[in-house]
Amino acid sequence: MESEGVIVVTGITAAGKSTVSQLLAERFQYGVHLRGEVFRRMIVSGQAAADADDGAEAMKQLRLRYRLVCQAADGYAQAGFTVVLQDVVIGELAREFLDAIESRPRYLVVLTPRPDVISSRLGGLSVDELDYELHAFTPRRGLWLDNSDLTPNETVDAILGRLDEAGFD
């Protein structure tokens, strides 16, 4: 079996990452859906929250999580699986995260539904700050896809149809 590489799917909270990533991974004969959040939850004591007073510890743990999930993605890809790696990777750390993936080819898909769509998914909570950080500080690499008016399956179809735009090196 031959891997078709690693496809990173990111975006802010409630952008559709989980559902789309699962459906996307299922489209490959040998597909893996890696969820970055699982690596955070493996820390059962001493976990630093993102908004913790000790920002240095939170950042250290986030970088650890990113490093481990990228290593896992590379391991699966080397074994012949196509990996769909789902995580919230925005802002200044995005470049470091993406560069940590050694497997080729590598792809990046950034789901960018409109803030009002995300807000409705979250019961009215505002996501303006996260949306701003995504657009203002995340490097413009890969495929940025507004999936506001797409079903999850339509989003997967769009990703596969435009996968060449998602490639980065």
Q: What is the pLDDT of residues 91-144, one digit of tens each?
A: 889 999 999 999 999 999 999 999 999 988 888 888 888 888 999 999 999 999
SS3 content of the chain, % helix, strand, coil (to 5): 45, 15, 40
Instruction: Find the mean pLDDT for residues 61-80.
Output: 96
Q: How confident is the model at residue 49 (pLDDT cuts 50, 70, 90)?
A: confident
Instruction: Find the mean pLDDT for residues 65-88.
Output: 97
| pLDDT for residue 71 is more than 70 | yes
Instruction: Find the mean pLDDT for residues 15-25.
Output: 97
Q: Would you give the distance in Å from CA 83 to the centre of its chain? A: 11
Instruction: Find the mean pLDDT for residues 22-36.
Output: 98
Any idea which of 32-46, 47-61, 126-140 has the lowest mean pLDDT? Answer: 47-61
| pLDDT for residue 53 is more than 70 | no
Residue 128: Cβ-neighbour burial (10 angstroms; 0-12, 13-18, 19+) = exposed
| pLDDT for residue 52 is more than 70 | no
Percent above pLDDT 90 for the chain: 70
What is the spatial distance between Cα 145 and Cα 143, in angstroms, rounded to a whole number? 6
Predicted confidence at residue 51, as pLDDT, reads: 65
Mean pLDDT taken over the chain = 92
**Cis, bond preceding 105 (omega within 30 deg of 0):** yes
Instruction: Find the mean pLDDT for residues 33-40.
Output: 94
Interacting residues of 107 by C-beta distance below 8 A, sequence separation 6+: 5, 6, 7, 8, 142, 143, 163, 166, 167, 168
Nearest to 99 by CA among 130, 76, 74: 74
Q: Would you give the distance in Å from CA 109 to the centre of its chain? A: 7
**Lookup: tokens for 82:** 């196509």
What domains does the chain contain, in order, with CATH numbers?
Answer: 6-166 (3.40.50.300)
SS3 53: coil
Interacting residues of 90 by C-beta distance below 8 A, sequence separation 6+: 10, 11, 12, 130, 133, 134, 137, 138
| pTM score, whole prediction | 0.93
Q: How confident is the model at residue 169 (pLDDT cuts 50, 70, 90)?
A: confident
